[in-house]
Amino acid sequence: MRFAPSPSGDLHVGNIRTALYDWAYARHTGGTFVFRIEDTDRIRVTDEYIAAAVDTLRWLGLDWDEGPEKGGEHGPYLQSQRMDIYAGWARRFLDDGHAYSCYCTPEELESRREQARSEGRAPGYDGHCRALSPEQVAAYVAEGRRPVVRFRMPEGSTTFADSIRGEVTFDHAFVPDFVLVRADGYPLYTLAVAVDDILMKITDVLRGEDLLSSTPRQIAVYRAMGVADEDFPRFGHLPFVMGTDNVKLSKRNGEVSVAWYRHHGFLPEAVCNYLALLGWSPGEDRELFSLEEMAEAFTLERVNRNPARFDMKKLEAINGDKIRALPAADFVERILPFLATAGLVSNPVTAEERGLVEGGAPLVQERSSRLTEAVEMLGFLLVDEEHFTVEEEAAARALTPEQRPVLAAAREALAGLGEWTTSAVEAALRAALVEGLGLKPKHAFSPVRVAITGRRVSPPLFESIELLGRERSLSRLDDGLAVASGG
């Protein structure tokens, strides 16, 4: 089990789905979950990147047994810190003939690729430098060419049992010799993964299907290292997560950054739950579960082989379910950071603010499919009175001259109220507006709602009025009246 992202930006949805399956498989089987950072294409990854990746994984609730910040007996877990290990193996392959120096320039390769393509031949490396004579080598060196180290793919074919797809075979005729070390001396992924898998004693690899056809190359390197077949890791290739346009999910066709979902009010348990469903199912029509339940039920046999489309609507539905399932106190803790970001509570939160939040939270919890919606709905309650505003469209619809009598009657009824409770508020408003003015409840409460909350959609009105308190409520009705009067 291993999860090895390469640091090309934020951890994205596809990475995380892979990590999740790796994690669940490791936990289910009691194995070791190794988190390795594949950064051979960089001098070194920034500490910020590692910190962000670690942070995202931890936020989701995934923990690893070996890797960054955790250590382990097969470290270091950053490939950029293992360069001399790879260099050692490259030298050895050169010496024993598993690899050779290739002096072809990128331009030459490109033009020969083009030619092969136009002639309908396979565009891979043509073996040009496989058997150079000492004279040819000397000539290239004299030209100042710097060689790459290229792996000599043996004849034959490779068959391996993919743990998700079953037996897969590749004829080596279609697996061209590939580069292990660049001309500047930097090792490539092709070398590093294979070496690390063996050195880190990886038993199972779950990765994207884009790597399916590079598996025979990896296996060939294991063989060259002298590793016995039974010590090779098992490979499982997961289908991609696609966007709705059926193209691999990316920045172009959707939100891919897990950090984005985090900042837009998605719960980690919802993200995990939804991602788990993209290619796996516990069966029996079950689709809501915790990470622990997933680990319990996760088997490779139940992983789907076909790619799944990412559906934001479904994610939101699950997020809403998870939000509703939160204990009330937990929900408060989850929205507090968002309220602070929105400037609706101080940081740290004061006792008074917390009181209001705790009062309002139960009203919005079941109405939110994202935490950010809860924040929007609670705004009227937490905003400083001088910053309170009524949405333009709501005012235009509900705070009109015709509604003046309604607002006035509501104000009067509430002003005379002795006990300021939800039920008292409701009774007073019903008596004044529904019975008194003969209005349908729907129409009676709409202007009041807009005056009190500033929006046409809000938490339940009577509870909101109770929480707002007498003074603030009456003052907002006064302001609403002024607006309705054309103020």
83 touching RNA, by CB under 7 A? no
Q: Pick one of 410, 411, 462, 473: the residue that binds RNA (CB under 7 A).
A: 462
Catalytic residue among 248, 251, 313, 322: 251
Q: Which of 152, 456, 470, 472: binder of RNA (CB under 7 A)?
A: 456
Q: Of 148 and 361, which has the nearer Cβ to RNA?
A: 148
Question: What's the min distance (Å) between Cβ of 124 and RNA?
Answer: 3
Q: What is the length of the chain?
A: 487
Q: Which of 31, 72, 123, 127 binds RNA (CB under 7 A)?
A: 123
Task: Give 44 or 324: the residue with its C-beta nearer to RNA.
Answer: 324
Stretch that binds RNA, among 19-27, 186-194, 263-271, 350-358 (CB under 7 A): 186-194
| Residue 442 annotated to the active site | no
- Residue ranges in 254-273 that form contacts with RNA under rule CB under 7 A: none
Smallest distance from the beta carbon of 377 to RNA, in angstroms? 8
Minimum Å gap between C-beta 176 and RNA is: 5
Choosing from 41, 63, 65, 478, the residue that interacts with RNA (CB under 7 A) is 41
Q: Considering only 106-114, 195-203, 331-339, 401-409, which stretch makes contact with RNA by CB under 7 A? A: 106-114
| Least spacing, CB of residue 252 vs RNA, in Å | 12
Task: Decide whether 13 or 349 has the Cβ nearer to RNA.
Answer: 13
Which of the residues 302 through 331 are near RNA (CB under 7 A)?
302, 304-309, 311, 313-314, 316-317, 320-321, 324
- Closest approach of Cβ 283 to RNA, in Å? 4
Footprint of RNA on residues 144-183 (CB under 7 A)?
Answer: 148, 165-166, 168-171, 174, 176, 178-179, 182-183
**Whether the Cβ atoms of residue 170 and residue 214 lie closer than 8 Å to each other:** no
Q: Between 340 and 383, name the residue whose CB sits nearer to RNA.
A: 383
Q: What is the 3-state secondary structure (H, E, C) of the chain?
A: CEECCCCCCCCEHHHHHHHHHHHHHHHHHCCCCEECECCCCCCCCCHHHHHHHHHHHHHHCCCCCEECCCECCCCCCEHHHCHHHHHHHHHHHHHHCCEEEECCCHHHHHHHHHHHHHCCCCCCCCCCCCCCCHHHHHHHHHCCCCCEEEECCCCCEEEEEECCCEEEEEEHHHCCCCEEECCCCCECHHHHHHHHHHHCCCCEEEEEHHHHHHHHHHHHHHHHCCCCHHHCCEEEEECCEECCCCCECCCCCCCCEHHHHHHCCCCHHHHHHHHHHCCECCCCCCCCCCHHHHHHHCCHHHECCCCEECCHHHHHHHHHHHHHHCCHHHHHHHHHHHHHHCCCCCCCCCHHHHHHHHHHHHHHHCCCCCHHHHHHHHHHHHCCHHHCCCCHHHHHHHCCHHHHHHHHHHHHHHHCCCCCCHHHHHHHHHHHHHHHCCCCHHHHHHHHHHHHHCCCCCCCHHHHHHHHCHHHHHHHHHHHHHHHCCC
d(CA 366, CA 321): 9
Cβ-based nearer residue to RNA, 189 or 349: 189
Which of 47, 285, 386, 419 binds RNA (CB under 7 A)? It is 285
Q: Considering only residues 63, 255, 376, 426, which one is a binding residue for RNA as defined by CB under 7 A?
A: 426
Q: How far apart are CA 130 and CA 198, in angstroms?
A: 27
User: Residue 2 or residue 349: which is nearer to RNA going by CB?
Assistant: 2
Binding status of residue 435 toward RNA by CB under 7 A: no
Binding mask 206-235 for RNA (x = CB under 7 A): ---xxxxxx---------------------
Cβ at position 101, least distance to RNA in Å = 11
Residue 106 found at the interface with RNA (CB under 7 A): yes
The distance of closest approach from Cβ of residue 311 to RNA in the complex, given in angstroms and rounded to an integer, is 4
Q: Which of 89, 125, 151, 266 binds RNA (CB under 7 A)?
A: 125
Residue with tokens 């098992």: 234
Site for RNA in 42-81 (CB under 7 A): none
Return the active site residues.
251
